[in-house]
Amino acid sequence: MPSHDEPRPLRLERPQRAHEVFAEYSSAERKRRQDSDVAFEHGLFDEVVALVMRKLQRLEDEGLV
C-alpha cells in the first residue's frame, strides 16, 4: 500500500474575509508603489483604500461572503 493511504482530513478553517485580504494586499501594494513611484500619492492611495474597505465591510455585513 502506498504511504499516502492515510489521508490528512480537510479541516474547518476560518478563511480570511475579503476586507482582510484587501487590507493585506493594499498594505503590500502601498510599499511596492512607494518604492517604485516617486510621484506616489499617499493621500489618494489611503483615500482609495478607505473607500474600498468601507464598501467591502458593508457588503460583508450584508451577508456577502
Partner 1 sequence: MIIHSLSAENLLKYRRITLENLPTHGVIAISGGNESGKSSIGEAICFALFGRTFAVGPEDAQKLIRWGENRCSVTIKMSVQSGARYQLSRYLDRDGNQSARLCRADDPEHPLARGLDPVAGAVRDLLGYDFEAFIDSFYLAQREIITPHPHSQAVRMMAGIAPMVACREELCLELERDQAALAEPATRTAELEAQLVELAFDGQRPHVLAADQADLTAREQLIWARRQALTAAAADYQGREPQLRRAAGNARMAGFLRLLSLLGATATLGLWAWLTQPASSPLALELLTLIEARMPLSGLLYGGLACAGLFVLFWGRILILSRRVRALHKSGVRLGAELAELDELEIGLPEALRLPPTGTDADGRGAPQGRLAPEQRAQLIDHLQTGHASVAEVHSAVSREIAWLDQARGRLIQRLADLKQEIRRERERRQEHDRLSGLRADLQREEAGRHHRIRLRAYASELLDGATRHLSHTFNHLLRDRVGRTLPMFTEGRYQHLQVDEDLTVRAFSNEKHDFMGLDEISSGTQRQIMLALRLSLSQQLINRAVQGNQFIFLDEPFAFFDDARTRNALAVLPRLSDNITQIWIVAQQFPPDLVFERSIECQREGDHCRDGDTQ
Question: Which residues in this chain contact partner 1 in the complex, by CB under 8 A?
Answer: 2, 4-5, 7-19, 21-22, 25-26, 29, 44-45, 47-49, 51-52, 55-56, 59-60, 63-65
Q: How far is the CB of 36 from partner 1 (least distance, A)?
A: 14
Q: Identify which of residues 7 and 38 has a Cβ nearer to partner 1 in the complex.
A: 7
Give the CB-side neighbour count of residue 43, counting CA atoms within 13 A.
Answer: 0
Residue 49's H or E segment, with its range, is helix 42-61
Phi, psi of 47 (to 5 degrees): -65, -40
Q: Which amino acid is at 2?
A: P
Q: How far is the CB of 39 from partner 1 (least distance, A)?
A: 14
